[in-house]
Amino acid sequence: MELFINIVILTISTGALWLGAVWVVESAPRLAQKMGISDLVIGLTVIAFGTSAPEFAVTISAAIRHQADISVGNIVGSNIFNLGFILGGVALLQTIKTTKKLVYREGGLLLLVSIILLFFLSDYSIAMWEGIFLLVALAAYLSYLFIHKEPLEEEFSHGPFRWYHALQLIGGLALVVAGGHFLVDSATFLARKVGLSEWAIAVTIVAAGTSAPEFATSLVAAIKGRHGISAGNLIGSDLFNIMGVLGLAAILRPLHVAQDAPFEIFILVMLVLTVVIMMRTGWRVSRMEGLALIIINLIRWFFTLKQ
């Protein structure tokens, strides 16, 4: 009975995370636009935060409760899920076009911070000073974008701001925080019940659940032909996950992880490199490349759950 209850909690929590994040993504850009913030800053800050809100809630909640494997595993798993299953799945449905800026600047930066994370976790921990470094790097990146104020290749369309969007934003954040709290509880219980490590559950089931907003955003953007938003949302979210979410989590409490962690980070680095190469060849991610990304991640899930 207890197993069934936790499965139900896991399902409801994932749904709450997804709904809350959708509300955040819908309302926050409208509010930011009303305040006169540029589309570039909105896209790389508000929307990136909105789609990363579930990862933020789960990771910070787990870090505070001394569950470092859930904290780090969720971010690593979510980033791999974003670039593998989501980018691959969207590309399988419709070829995604890319740009030089997206490939060289954002793709290059994501590869760099993933390598830095691999270096930080070589001793199976992320110290407070390493968390500070990641947050400072994020601040520097956003400052660079704000100072240059480069126009987006594609314009974001938000619509007018209404008074109820403020309530939608508050309600969305509340759902995300509550969903994250209960998701950690149920995932941890299930991990122990079926004999899997917390790390394995974090990089698979929890990661898939918290990546639902990225999937919804990227899929809708691709269907509407807004390819830059589709791919940019995933890369921007991954950047925010590593530098912002993990950085803050490590500052709140140093993170000590399982011995599986460095290997999973290595997989992430190789996947980022693969995606950057795919985006560069022909300036697009083709359907065949999308299928390849999905297969790579299915194999990775199989071996992770088998351990």
Q: What is the pLDDT of residue 152?
A: 44
Residue 139: per-residue pLDDT: 93
Residue 1 neighbours by CB under 8 Å, 6+ apart:
none
Per-residue pLDDT tens over the stretch 71-88:
899 999 999 999 999 999
C-alpha–C-alpha distance, residues 38 and 150, integer Å: 10
Return the percentage of the chain with pLDDT > 70, whole number. Answer: 92
What's the mean pLDDT in 262-267? 90
Residues 173-187: tens digit of each pLDDT? 888 878 887 887 888
Question: What number is the average pLDDT over the span 254-272?
Answer: 90
pLDDT digits (tens, 9 = 90+) for 93-149: 888 888 888 899 989 999 999 999 999 999 999 999 999 999 999 999 988 877 776
Summarize pLDDT for 150-166 with one digit per residue, the tens. 554 445 556 777 888 88
